[in-house]
Amino acid sequence: MKKFLLLLVYAWLPALSFAGSTPADSAARYKAVVDSMQATLHYQTGRITLPDGVGEITVPTGFRYLDAAQSTQVLTKFWGNPNGESLGMLFPATKGPLDEGGWAFVVEYEKMGYVKDDDAEDINYDDLLKDMQESSEEANKERAEAGYEPVALVGWAAKPFYDKSLNVLHWAKELKFGEATENTLNYNVRLLGRKGVLNLNAVGSMGQLAEVRGTIPAVIKSVMFSKGLQYADFNPDMDEVAAYGIGGLVAGKVLAKIGFFAVILKFWKIGLGLLAAAWTAIRRFFGAKAEPEPAGASGPAPDSEPEA
């Protein structure tokens, strides 16, 4: 990430220099680049039609929406995420993608079929958590053998809850990345539809739990499927049924791509001085060796610890 940001700095500095506004010191240069990058984004409010006619969002008070194309720019060019596909993003009105303390919901649609909810009342989420933790520990053994840091599922930050009247499932996990001093919050919202699931993911620090959780009711109300694609429109004679029920959604067996975004988004709120260590953690998580830094490269200290 250090190299990635430095490339951005060098790419943007000519334009800033031409404008006669290039600051002399490194920290100010970074801030100038970040401000210039964020100034290119154009947010929307009001009623938004989601791509492919899946549904719509009425942007809730205190939020702003970034369309799919600009979200791709944020996910790939700003954060170096190789996969930038989404239906858009919901940002708090006062926080941008590169602001410290920033977080957002990534909106996606998973066309997996109709998810039956008849198992919702029978799931013991404490037992499910134990199963998930055991799976995480097994995966970490393989990660350790490969030389990568562990990612531990600490527990529920918010226990799974399924609202049968709205056909909405939401829960939050507490994660620990390696030796990070603060644990990570991964808040998941799933809206069930006729042919798939609308996914909204927000990731930040555990210290942001109350802030994120407080927005969940408004965010749920803001999103809806298009007519004919709602959960009640299911036709058993012609519609495909998903391979997993509510428990499968919580266990994450079919939402690997969403998990990818969740890990990437954990680093939104960190300051620019911590981005190098963050990128190392991301690369390790996805099985890529961190590239060595060129000798004398300026930027964040490589041993800085990212906030979770």
185-201 tens-digit pLDDT: 999 999 999 999 999 99
Average pLDDT of the residues in 136-154: 86
Average pLDDT of the residues in 228-235: 98
Strand partners, 65: 44, 90
pLDDT score at 171: 97
Helices of type H across 39-182: 68-72, 125-145
Residue 307 has which token pair?
């906030």
**Residue 293 pLDDT level (bands cut at 50, 70, 90):** very low
Residue 8 has which token pair?
């951005």
C-alpha 203 chain-centroid distance:
5
Mean pLDDT of the chain: 78
**Residue 6 pLDDT level (bands cut at 50, 70, 90):** very low
The residue among 287 and 82 whose pLDDT is bigger is 82
Rounded alpha-carbon distances, angstroms, from residue 292 to 8, 112, 277, 306: 18, 40, 12, 18
Average pLDDT of the residues in 154-171: 97
Please state which CATH class domain 41-269 belongs to.
alpha beta
- Which stretch, 28-32, 72-76, 205-209, has highest mean pLDDT? 205-209
Phi and psi based region of residue 107 (left: phi greater than 0; alpha: psi -120 to 50; beta: remaining): beta
**Residue 25 pLDDT level (bands cut at 50, 70, 90):** low
Domain ranges of the chain: 41-269
**Residue 232 pLDDT level (bands cut at 50, 70, 90):** very high
pTM for this predicted structure = 0.74
Q: Hunting for tokens 């429109």 — which residue is that?
A: 233
